[in-house]
Amino acid sequence: MRSLWRRRRGVDLGKYAHPPVAPLAPIERVVEEGVMISASAVRMALKNQLIVAALREHHAYDAEAIAGAARDQLASVAAESAATAERLEEVRTERGYVRADDGEGDENSALRDEEYRRRPTVHRMLAAALLEMAADPAAVAGLVDAARTDAAQEIGREVVGGLRARDFAAEPDYEATKQQRLQGLIDIDLEELAASQPPE
């Protein structure tokens, strides 16, 4: 019995080639972006610290304490970056780095080699930039102010959300006492407000 299905001839799709590697950005730009990312992470950590201090621990805002925390956070991230640079250097020394002939072409291989070689330098420069930021009072103050604004906005959203979620109509005497509360506002609060205004 003849097969109802005919085998199609294979389609020649050609040899797969990796897409070209994008040119490497200047090291200074990579470090600048790294500083922005690290500062954003520190800002978020400070925001969370402020929220916990305000809501859970009921601590008053302490500008010097939060500035010290910002400097410590920046120094900690800088230390991590410096340690990463050392670790990358050790790996290169122990294993050696020989360009792999992956068939991608000399240009792609050269770009990958350059990216690998400059990673320790990028991490060292990032660590230095973060330590410089930690030693700059204006930079620390700007980071603290941003974190404080973020914390205030988040707390405000939580408060507003809680008020909106509250079902006043579910209170048994809400409707019954509504008119009484309005009359009290008119008779007392508004009269006192009018009396406090200077005569024209």
Q: Using one digit for the tens of pLDDT, what is the confidence trace for 157-187?
A: 776 666 555 555 556 676 677 767 666 665 5
Type of residue found at 41? A
Higher-confidence position of 7 and 59: 59
The pair of three-digit structure tokens given for residue 49, joined into one six-digit string: 């610290």
Q: Using one digit for the tens of pLDDT, what is the confidence trace for 112-156?
A: 666 778 889 999 999 999 999 999 999 999 999 999 999 888 887
Q: Using one digit for the tens of pLDDT, what is the confidence trace for 78-90?
A: 999 999 999 988 8
Q: How far is CA 171 from CA 168, 175, 176, 182, in A?
A: 6, 8, 10, 17
The reported pLDDT for the residue numbered 168 is: 57
Q: What is this structure's pTM?
A: 0.62
